[in-house]
A and B are shown apart, each in its own frame.
Chain A
Amino acid sequence: MIETADVVIVGAGIVGACCAHLLQREGLRVLVVESGVIAGGATGSGMGHIVVMDDNPPEYALTLYSQQLWNRLLPELPAPVEYDACGTIWVAADEEEMRGVHSKFASYTMRGVRADILDSRQIAEAEPALREGLAGGLLVRDDSVIYAPCAASWFLQGASVRRARAVSVAAEGVRLDDGSMLACGAVVCAAGAKTAELFPQLDVRPRKGHLAITDRYPGFARHQLVELGYLKSAHGHTTESVAFNVQPRRTGQVLIGSSRQYGVDSTSIDRPLLRRMLQRAIEYMPRLATLSILRTWTGFRPSTPDNMPAIGLSPAHANVWFATGHEGLGITTSLGTAHLLVDLMAHRTPRIDASPFAPERLWRDA
């Protein structure tokens, strides 16, 4: 028997889940295909920081649009999503980084993003566990933290999810590894870091990250704390980098990140890199060294050469759409992505310019 749906979505991470939610709201019959468990990819192994990033105009537009959508939605989400409106503090180590704080402040406030400059004393009061003598920081109030797997499950409520691997996509539909065919009007590829297994032409590569989580120490950290130099790690293309990025969880646990690594497919812990990552965190928060870590793990960000996602119609297919390549921002940008994609599919004008995300730019001959 051939199953049919209006839209088949490949991938039940946060991006596929948001797309399913919104496409269903349009009255379409949606079928989600997932080879593993719901949110078992990057969505289940990341940090869940909802953050506005202003380092290039399209990313700024997409993260801000997404953050505003989240803030409207989050009070409705169930308790297990662990929504915490804790805000972000970008930490400046020295006067040079403090100049970065001032330019970030200007760029945020220009677009109505609520931000406050903290001096050396104010940052110490806001986060007593940070090391002494930091130059200051930038508090961005409307950023928040969620537990993304539960958000993904919530978005998928009422959706049909088929546990199978999509092996190919053709004009008539999606072929699964059990040999069956799903006939559909359109396909959305939200396969994250595994996108290239289905579409080798689209330049999306896995970029490995390490995280560690501590036992419960309520109040140890109060905001998501990120070093101002984080962007160097995120947007640089060196094979290996670490940055200070610490997140308080609702439970009192402290989530410690993060590393970035290209060209590795093993999920196992790289001990020297993990040590560098933890050492970096301890440089900023010396007392972290006394907390006990419960678990360390790794995940794969779906990365692209220009650090921007692919959202839109495939350049080579009439009915295949991409929503992938969200690198380290996919929890944040999933919601904006789904709104953009659904508007494009419905021939409506999206609220923000979709052209910088057009998949063509990542298309190459496989």
Chain B
Amino acid sequence: MPEKFLIRINGTGFQAARGMTVAAAVLMAGVACFRRSVSGEPRAPLCGMGICMECRVTIDGVPHSRACQTLCAPGMEIRTDA
């Protein structure tokens, strides 16, 4: 895997680095809302260690993937709730 590569976050290109989690990339891209709760409240990473499930996003079409537990990979497509 190259040191630096391109991924897409909500359709916009983002330069990610090897070893970077999806959670880090999404935050660095300036996206504050990862997902919406049932009642529509914005949610973002809380525990950072795979327990709280607050950081879920859609990664390569798979919904409810934990951003804090997934490493970025070249060409990855990430979708957050609006």
A: residues with CB less than 8 A from B are 215-217, 251, 290, 292
Contacts and interface: CB of A to CB of B under 8 A. Distances in A.
B64 A215 contact: yes
A251 B63 contact: no
A60 B64 CA distance: 41
A292 B38 contact: no
B38 A251 contact: yes
B9 to A, nearest CB: 21
Contacts of A215: 56, 63-64
Contacts of B63: 215-217
Contacts of A290: 62
Main secondary structure of the interface of B (DSSP, over half): strand
Interface string B56-68: 1000001110000
Contacts of A251: 38
Interface in B41-70: 56, 62-64
Interface residues of B, number: 5
Interface of B: 38, 56, 62-64
A340 to B, nearest CB: 37
Nearest to A218: B63
Contacts of B64: 215-216, 292
A290 B63 CA distance: 10
A251 B37 CA distance: 10
10 contacts: A215-B56, A215-B63, A215-B64, A216-B38, A216-B63, A216-B64, A217-B63, A251-B38, A290-B62, A292-B64
Nearest to A252: B38
Given A216-B38, A216-B64, A217-B63, 7 more contacts: A215-B56, A215-B63, A215-B64, A216-B63, A251-B38, A290-B62, A292-B64
Nearest 3 Cβ contacts at the A-B interface? A215-B64, A251-B38, A292-B64
Q: Pick the most buried of A216, A251, A290: most chain B CB atoms within 10 A of its CB.
A: A216
Contacts of A217: 63
Nearest to B66: A292
Nearest to A251: B38
Nearest to B64: A215
A146 B64 CA distance: 25
B54 to A, nearest CB: 13
Contacts of B56: 215
Contacts of B38: 216, 251
A290 B38 CA distance: 21
